[in-house]
Amino acid sequence: MNYRHAYHAGNFADVAKHIALVAILEYLKRKEKGFVVIDTHAGRGMYDLLGAEATKTSEALAGIEKIRHLQEPLPEGLATYLDLVRAAGASKYPGSPLIAARLLRPQDRLVAIEKHPEEAAALSKELAPAPRAQVLIADGYSRLLTLLPPYERRGVILVDPPFEAADEFQVLAGTVIAALRKFATGVYMVWYPIKSAARAASFCGELLSAGATSLLRLEISREEPGQGMRAAGLLVINPPFGFSEQMVSIGDKLKQPLAARLGIQWLAGGP
Ligand SMILES: C[S@@+](CC[C@H](N)C(=O)[O-])C[C@H]1O[C@@H](n2cnc3c(N)ncnc32)[C@H](O)[C@@H]1O
C-alpha cells in the first residue's frame, strides 16, 4: 500500500470524477428521501496543494488550477463543485468524502472506507464535525459487500481504487458485480485509469455482461502530452436522469481550460 493520493489530488482526472460526484449527489437531492454515499477507497479527505507530495508532481497545476477561477454561467454541478473547492482555501483540495459530506442533508449519510491507517486517521479528523459521516478502517471491497443493500434503498457507491495491484481490475469487476447482485438499483461510480485501451474496454465489457441495464461511460483524455496518466474513465451504473446531458455541458466548459476531452457514451440503456 504505497499509493498516496496527495501526489495526484486535483489532477484532471480527479477533477472530472469529483464534478461527476457532485452532479450525481445534486440529482439525488431532488427527492426528499435520504440516501447513503459509500466511498470504498476514501483517502485522507483534504489535500495540501503546497505540500511536498503535490509539489513533487505538480499535477494539480494542469487540473484544478486551470479551472479554479472559471466564472458563471456554469452548469449547476460544475458551479457547486467549484464553490466547494474554493471554500476549502486557495492551497487546499477536498477529496471525495469531504465533497460528499459537505453536500449531504440531515437525512443522508456517508460511509467512508480507507485501508491505510494514517489516511484513515486524517480522514476521521476531517469528518469529525460531520454528524452523519462514518469512517471505517477496512478493505473497501469486502467491507462494501457487508453494507449492501443499505436500509435507505437509495445510494451512491464510489469505487476509486489505487490500481497498485496487478489484479485490481479483476477484483474491482468482481466486487462491483457482487455488489450489483445485492443492490441492483444503486448508483455506482467506478473509476479506472486508461493505460491500455483494450484492458479498459474489456473491463467495461465485463460489467456489461454482468447485466447492468443502465451504464454510462465517461472518459477524460488530455490533449497535450505531459507526465503521468493521459486518460481515465468513470463507469456510472444507473446514472440519474439528466446526468449525461449535464456532463456534456460540463465537458464543453472544461475542454479548453483543461485541454482535455470528455467522451460520454451509453454502453447500456440511456434516454
Ligand atoms: C485513489 S485514492 C482515493 C481518492 C478519493 N476517493 C478521492 O477521490 O478523494 C485510493 C485510496 O485507497 C486507499 N486504499 C488502498 N487499498 C485499499 C483497500 N483495499 N481498501 C480501502 N482503501 C484502500 C489508499 O490508501 C488511497 O487512499
- Report the alpha-carbon distance of residue 68 to residue 234 in Å, rounded: 22
The residue whose C-alpha atom lies closest to atom 13 belonging to ligand 1 is 41
Reply yes or no on whether 160 is catalytic.
yes
pLDDT tens by residue, 202-261: 999 999 888 889 999 999 999 877 677 899 999 999 999 999 999 999 999 999 999 999
pLDDT over 80 (residue 71): yes
pLDDT tens by residue, 91-125: 999 999 999 999 999 999 999 999 999 999 999 99
Identity at 148, one-letter amino acid code: L
Say if ligand 1 is within 6 A of residue 5 CB.
yes
pLDDT tens by residue, 172-211: 999 999 999 999 999 999 999 999 899 999 999 999 888 8
Q: Residue 270: its pLDDT value, please?
A: 86
Q: How much distance in Å is there from the Cα of 225 to the middle of ligand 1?
A: 27
Q: How much distance in Å is there from the Cα of 162 to the middle of ligand 1?
A: 6
**CATH for 179:** 3.40.50.150
Cell output for 170: 479483476
What domain range includes position 160?
Answer: 5-268
Instruction: Quote the crossing angle between the two packed helices 12-28 and 76-88, to the nearest 10°.
Output: 120
Say if ligand 1 is within 6 A of residue 94 CB.
no
Q: Taken in order 57, 229, 123, 104, is the CA torsion positive or negative?
A: positive
Domains of the chain: total:
1
Instruction: Looking at the CA of residue 21, tell me the nearest atom of ligand 1.
Output: 8
CA dihedral 204, 210, 213, 216 (to 10 degrees): -20
- Report the alpha-carbon distance of residue 260 to residue 258 in Å, rounded: 5
**Of 7, 38, 41, best ligand 1 pocket probe by most atoms within 8 Å of the beta carbon:** 41
CB atoms near residue 66 (< 10 Å)? 18
CA angle 6, 101, 39 (to 5 degrees): 60
The residue whose C-alpha atom lies closest to atom 12 belonging to ligand 1 is 41
Which of 83, 160, 167, 252 is the catalytic position? 160
Q: How much distance in Å is there from the Cα of 41 to the middle of ligand 1?
A: 3
Full-prediction pTM beyond 0.95?
yes
3-state secondary structure of 188: strand
